[in-house]
A and B are shown apart, each in its own frame.
Chain A
Amino acid sequence: MIGWGQVAASLALVAVAIVLSFLRGVRIENEIAWAVLRSFVQLLALGYVIKAIFDARNAAYVVPVLAVMTVFGAITARNRAPGVPHAFPVLLASLAVAVTATIGLALAVGAIHATSRALIPIGGMVIGQAMVASALALSRLEFEIGSASNEIEARLSLGATWRQAVDPILRRSLTAGMLNTIDSTKTAGIVAIPGTTVGMLLGGAAPLDAIRLQLILFYLLVGATAIVVVLASSAAARFFFTDAHQLRDPAARTGHVANIPL
């Protein structure tokens, strides 16, 4: 059991970070303090929500929790790619499909159990990883389309459709979105011990049980990442073009709502 005293003691390291920031003139003391405060409040709230759901012993409560996580995931990812038209609905739909498909498949083949205790943390990890991957993919897509607009228009001017014109650029964005997950899967156990394994070992689980769950999670994350990156990039790429296969002017791509800081 971990008590609040131990949590409070670990704050000593935050104090070290703040002092270092002050001494070196980095001037991010306020940000560090704010991040620590937010993490405390957010995780405490999450803890109570999860406790209530576990106590209710009804897996149906998992759905609204994962839905809320998906919405916030889409907002966060959208903020990383502000120049991508219609990024929020694209990300929301892509994340929802990716999470539903991967968790659904894992349940169908019996890789995880249909309990709140399994679905909430695993769903949260899948959404988090898919959010990071889709944000990377869309920000790369925005950058690549901006820097290769001459090449794209050259293809269009030779009679290529918007999809033919953007396809080579799209592949770069898919790679960017996928690489992070592939790298962390490749290096697991060599460069770092993954979080789930650490958590289970600290919780007293047998090492091989921890590894088995970790492997399932990695494979889910690879699947979720691939689905979200392909769906979000392909759908978002369409909105860079008009129905007449014209590359939209950057100034005309302002269909997104104002950023919501998270």
Chain B
Amino acid sequence: MNLFELESVTFRALRDVTAELPAGATCVWGPSGAGKSTLLRLLNRLADPERGRVLFRGRDARELDPLSLRRTAVLVQQLPAPVPGTVEANVTYGARLLGRDVDVARLLEHVALRAACRDRDAKQLSVGEQQRVMLARALALEPEALLLDEPTSSLDAAARDQIERTLEHFRNDLGMSLVLVTHDRAQAERLAEHFVELERGRVTAAA
């Protein structure tokens, strides 16, 4: 069964999009303005389509509890959006809502951040470090899938490679599915085995 399916979805830039996103790593690729980020927001139910349906594991997303869906398939936005407070407060945010304990040190290690960062103000970190805190925060929810919106767009090559290795680790060792939005074709090929290509809101290729 597919992780996600879109059936004739129309919403903002997206026009009558039908696509299957299997478990594993899927890359949604396309130029700016193609509707890639909009598609991720629909998968996370931050918005609902004007027409058509989004299915998660075969069930209409509208019939699912949105909060539970968001914890199962966690969105990491393109721009880091830390909540006010320390790195630790950010990493534990979602898990604390559920009353769960979090091994912060282990999560920071997963995203290649030094343990000494945990008490720093998250907003004082570099954008690349903030992006990794956002990844650790998503990971703390132990999701089935990560929905990643251009996760390396604000990073230099070294940091990008580090994040890509982390994502491969999530996928290969933790069995997590990834839906990755990028306009970087080479990155798409490095990280994903399934592809959906969008252009001007329409699917132009899928594999």
| A residues lining the B interface (CB < 8 Å) | 150-151, 153-161, 164, 168, 242, 244-247, 249
Contacts and interface: CB of A to CB of B under 8 A. Distances in A.
Given A151-B81, A244-B48, A246-B47, A158 B66 contact: no
A247 B77 contact: no
Contact of B70 (A159, A164, A168, A242): A159
Contacts of B71: 158-159
B56 interface: no
Contact of B46 (A151, A164, A247): A247
Given A158-B94, A160-B67, 12 more contacts: A150-B77, A151-B81, A154-B83, A156-B46, A158-B97, A158-B141, A159-B67, A159-B70, A159-B94, A242-B48, A244-B66, A245-B66
B70 A157 contact: yes
Which of the four size classes fits the interface of chain B? 20 to 34
A156 B70 CA distance: 8
A133 B46 CA distance: 32
B152 interface: no
B87 to A, nearest CB: 15
Contacts, number: 62
Residue of A150, A159, A168, A244 with most chain B CB atoms under a 10 A cut-off: A159
Contact of B66 (A154, A246, A249): A246
Contacts of B98: 159
A168 to B, nearest CB: 7
Contacts of B94: 158-160
Contacts of A164: 97
Q: Which 6 A-B pairs have the closest CB atoms?
A: A158-B94, A154-B81, A159-B71, A157-B75, A150-B81, A244-B66
Contact of A157 (B48, B62, B74): B74
A157 B77 contact: yes
B112 to A, nearest CB: 21
Contacts of B135: none
A160 B93 CA distance: 9
A246 B66 CA distance: 9
Contact of B93 (A155, A244, A249): A155
Contacts of B36: none
